[in-house]
Structure 1
Amino acid sequence: MPPPDTMFCAQQINIPPELPDLLKQFTKAAIRTQPHDVLQWSSAYFNALSRGEPLPVKERVEMPVATQKTDTGLTPGLLKILHKQLSSNQYVDVSELEQKWKDLSLPVEQLRSILALDNFGTDVEWMRFFALGCSTLGGSITSALKHACEILTKDPEGGAARIPFEVFTFFYLYLAEIDGEITESQTESVLSSLQVEVDQQDGMVQPRNFMNSLCPPLS
């Protein structure tokens, strides 16, 4: 015989005190991130929350540019999420990278295209992949380096977007190698002239240092 229906009143329902704030924070995160697959993203959000891992959440809503009206690909905000989630280790298992990529509803074809730019195996050197991701965002080395500065900087939003000179050097040399058309003498010339300028800025590079006539090989 089936048990009788149980009647509940408000006093009998125990609502955990932390639930309202948890749901409020989740809703705010979803609004900022605007995931294309809400269920997939929600699963990743609560899994990360339960493990104390970086959440797949954008810092702010990204306003799409004209070319992104129907584009569901990588954006600066999504690349920043991936960096927070995966940069704690020098190397990332490609299966973990692929899962994080899918959690953000990013097309797997784009991931494979980025991986194909270098000779990555089952372990991906994160900072190299990050550099290639910036290149995907920018379309030119100058734009890629600007994205890297804006994503990695510890400066407040709208600030100078500075990063250490050695980090900039790594990205520039690596992207120049991938590009294949920038000579070693050009990179040496750029870095030596840039070194003089950044020595006066506590060894930090910002976009205005390399997006000008002093560094023409970057254009």
Structure 2
Amino acid sequence: MWDYKFARDNPIYFSHLFVAYLKQEMVLSEEEASARTRGFPRLKTQEEEEQLAAQRLAVPSPLPRILKEFTKAAIRTQPYDLLRWSAAYFAALATGLEPPVKERLEFPPLEAPGGLTPGYLRVLHRQQGDAPFVQYEQLLRRWKGLCLGVEALDTIWGLVATEEQDEVPWLHIVSAGSGLISQSPLQTMVLVCETLTTEPEGASACVPMTTFEPLYLHVSQLDHPGLPGVGPAVGIDVTGPLLEHLRAVAAEQGGNVTPRNLAHFNCPKLY
């Protein structure tokens, strides 16, 4: 039976075969058959095929595992530009850096400025490591590796840096980035806790009060009414009672505060 799939996948072979058939049936002369096959590559003999197979490179044994991990990472991260993200992914692996990979798939996809989501913010935080400061060019390279919009980065950088600054505290980027994609200062500080916590996902997302307090004060002074997650600056009449309450709560929780503490009915307002 005629195998159409094989014919489709091997057009040159079947072209030669068809011309040979016509020649055998005396439909084509020797010269006509030669002319018909002149434009086709010559079919390799069995000996040539064996020599070619011997020259082929062996597949490295780690390659299947690498491709499997790459596939799972791409599915979890869902990058907008797969080619650009893949380049950043393998570059990170080659240099021993944290790859641009989300811990889990964010579903349904979140609509946020520049494509920034809580998952991407956590990726950037892991890539930053323990370094307290970050430079714009350094952050821009990671940002592009995640296929995020540069306008969102410029907005965040403009919130925390002056024109003369070429580096800023990394935690200020986290708080400003949280404010960019949140709908209220409360949601911003909850996202800050969820980004900075060392607890596994689904736990209390606690952070030390010594970390939370300066970041809350930083967000409270950003003064950007156009961003719901930041809002206008607030004074000590708002920040004072809140911090006093949270210090007392943290003293009973090993020095930590959690998003649940912020949403408690006894907690003074954040803004």
TM-score calculated relative to the size of structure 1 = 0.90
Match of 1:25 in 2: 69
Matched, 1:45 2:89: yes
- 2:116 corresponds to which of 65, 74, 77: 74
The residue that corresponds to 2:5 in the other structure is none
Please identify the structure whose Cα radius of gyration is greater: 2
Matching of residues 1-219 of structure 1 within 5 Å: 7=49, 8-9=52-53, 13-64=57-108, 68=111, 73-120=115-162, 121-179=165-223, 180-218=232-270
- RCO greater where, 1 or 2, for CA within 8 Å and sep 6 or more? 1
**Aligned with 1:218: secondary structure?**
coil
For residues 179-200 of structure 1, give each alpha carbon's deviation from its aligned partner in whole angstroms, at most 9, with x where no partner exists: 3531113212111111111111
CA drift at 1:212? 2.5
Q: Percent identity?
A: 39
CA distance in 2, matches of 1:192, 1:177: 18
> In the TM superposition, what whole-angstrom CA distance separates every residue of 1:50-103 from its partner, at most 9, and x where no partner exists?
1110010000000136x62x9651000101111111243222121111111111
Alignment size in residue pairs: 214
Letter in structure 2 aligned against 1:214: N
- Paired with 1:208 and 1:175, the residues of 2 have a C-alpha distance of 19
Shift of 1:119: 2.8
Aligned mates of 2:174, 2:84 — CA distance in 1: 23
CA contact (8 A) 2:179 2:185 kept: yes
AA aligned opposite 2:63: L
C-alpha separation between the residues in 2 aligned to 1:168 and 1:31? Answer: 33
**CA–CA distance in structure 1, aligned partners of residues 61 and 54 of structure 2:** 15
Distance of aligned partners of 1:213 and 1:28 in 2 relative to their CA distance in 1, 3 Å threshold: same
- Kept in 2, the 8 Å contact 1:182–1:217? The answer is no
- Give the unaligned 5+ runs of structure 2: 1-43, 224-231
Q: Mark the runs of 5 or more structure 1 residues left unpaired by the alignment.
A: none
Shift of 1:10: 7.8
Q: Please report the TM-score for the alignment, with normalisation by the length of structure 2.
A: 0.73
Answer whether contact 2:114 2:150 (CA < 8 A) is retained: no
1:31-66 deviations in Å (ceiling 9; x for gaps):
00000101100000000001110010000000136x
C-alpha separation in 1, matches of 2:82 and 2:56: 32
Change in CA separation of 1:181 and 1:91 when aligned onto 2, cut-off 3 Å: closer
